[in-house]
Structure 1
């Protein structure tokens, strides 16, 4: 955690000596480093405390020097060098840009950022033009943490663009974790995610995943600087994880040797000084997630809430795993059980898709900042990696949109009305031509195709099928698409969308309507991999069926039925 150095009563000096330490999340043999010195100009004690708590979580050892006024600030700048200067925009004896100018004159080149509660656009722009690296509102503590970490966590000079790429990928960690948990089918799948993610989310020095087994606590997995208790079992009443499971609430312990719930002898051989133990509950508490720090650490409300959110996500994942295990044991009830679990998975995934928006906005926001303000400073390979990050974020946003469409279909009430599928198909083709006016393709639509179906859903169905035909026939010199109807063997009607495009291997047709299954490379034919799953869901909502025939390089034909009633 950061070391605070405050001026003496005379305002003439600072005391304290920084010691090397192992940065959270790193191996001890690789990352022993000297603390970075930060000078913080601030006269509000509460803001000082909040800022120090935020800086505890940047993952870098900081030696923080506090200056409460202009006199202390000038003295500190003249006394020793700093790696970073942070300043309020208005402090007694240092108004306007005086703090920035003093830093530039006394310590040229030192990074300087404003952290102000009175941020306005004009003053912020003027500060950036004057040489500040950033101007951050005090409400945005998360942005302060990110900026400081970005300054101090830069890759070494010889790491080049790879370091930038790896650093940027950390921002996507939460998104990846939620995705992995939402698709977990076994306990091992959940365990592979939990400990590592819990540790990374709050920059802890270690994390454990503890399962409840009767009256025992099993430390099933861990990710830590040093060994903890993986594979060991303890009575529920003899460990903090048991206390959390029995009481169903989170335990925050900044000093393990001052809390009677801690079995001190078990901890003496470890690095642990502070911890948070979070219950994993879904009706009943079935597990706990422990996070540990090697230095005294008091997590704030944001950290504890983040851990509880992760625990709630894990609880749902464990519940899904339990359901699937029961289904395997009850073959006779398999159909009913799978239907119930599918509904719950969809409801869960729908909520998760909404929650993914927040971290994705952060990724997009900081990537755009890099594009707009720092692109020219990056080497060519660094620019390439940054553009890849932006492209992947945009693709993920499209996937979330399509996921939401897919999940909404489960609860959509089918409103049937008499309409013409041929007219709807024509409207889809008009849209496609307007988006790609240079494309020359012959589209043949039957003169009339009367149906009794949900007009909006059928339009979405045709968007997916005709859109695919348009895309996959795009490389043909004379692209051809046909939309029509033919009699079914049972006397009904079968509609079809046929093209002369690239086609696909029919031996893989069983995976055709599975979300995220792709038969062609993303670089050749962009897409989210969810379109055909949406098409299938719409047809099934009408009580129909959908299938396809194809050969590589000889086109494809998708058939579907839309019965008059379900």
Structure 2
């Protein structure tokens, strides 16, 4: 029997070696191809057919479910496994819902061997049979969703069905449930690979969901930047490239279901029909619950509950961060004892492993510190005063120069930038934004960092921090602000991946927005809005 070809995306050489050793002892001939970067992964999928794809869940350039999505698009039907060091229950459920065969913790090598053997030993399937099976699966999902909607007695029940079914029904990268509130669209809930607009309201005339409800028809947009109905500025910071908006109740729409794709996509007629069938079922469910007035009241109550849950989460995270420190201190303490007293007696491999353990323990301690700071921001009141943003930026840049006297960079800061903001919070946000610009221009000859403001059609000014550093792929810009999401490894640039999340939280606390634009190798620009001082 010919060797079964397996593609493995893993940027940690030690993890790749451990998994490779395990797969060579399966009893099944395996031709393992290991790739470390997102570009090599795409190239491998395009060049050669594989019997199985295995992927870490956090490789820079393929965060979240992007590696799974690429495998599904380039080699439809190929079995896919997540082999991750972050295999918590929520991540595992999300991976399975997205189409992975399994989500395995890296500590469970025995489970990896068992699952891989099972997948590689099963007979090849017929493509027509696979298509029929996929169609039957989607129909079964729709039938199950209709049954659940028929039993719905409140908005929460309907919301749960829409969030858990819509993406899987058409293999989308995101889905939203939008309610009509008078002349506004309220984005009640979402399930997506990165945040969209949950909890926000927009005028009916300013969003595609409003257009679909006003015109009482399903909207199919293969390329959002070629359609005038799409508010391009609102979508540019997101992952969305294609979308379908389906009205709920065609005669007099009261809601809409949005589905989004991260790559250009034109859904089939069958998929559009499935979405419309789901929307029609949601319409019946909404009519079966209490009156529309009570529905609005429940939405208000839901907002209060979400605020309470956020406070509870912050308290839980604070407690968790403290409980984690006890075993971490033990790891650090005993590791340092070994380094000081027994390092020379260890083998070269033993020294390498010990140094890795101590380094990872230190990194985890930094992550806990930053995560705790992030949650503290949510409960901190905003005390506004008139702040000179120009002077603050100059001070931050001066400290950065003192910390690294060997660095040179041309810094341009627009004069007299004043805002109404919390001085302490704004200082934290600016330190992270300018710190990133300083860090990612480290390898740029003739480094340039600029702080300025640009005209805006709205009341608030749009400020920016621009650099000519390494940049990033703008199609994934929205993920930058998620905690611990990084596009570069520690070998390239150090950091915990929490700074931009803190900057975003601070800007949001002030009622502003923050987004980024960039291209790889061409620098980055971070925009944010703040109230202008009177």
TM range (shorter): 0.3 to 0.5
TM-score (norm 1): 0.43
Structure number with larger C-alpha Rg: 1
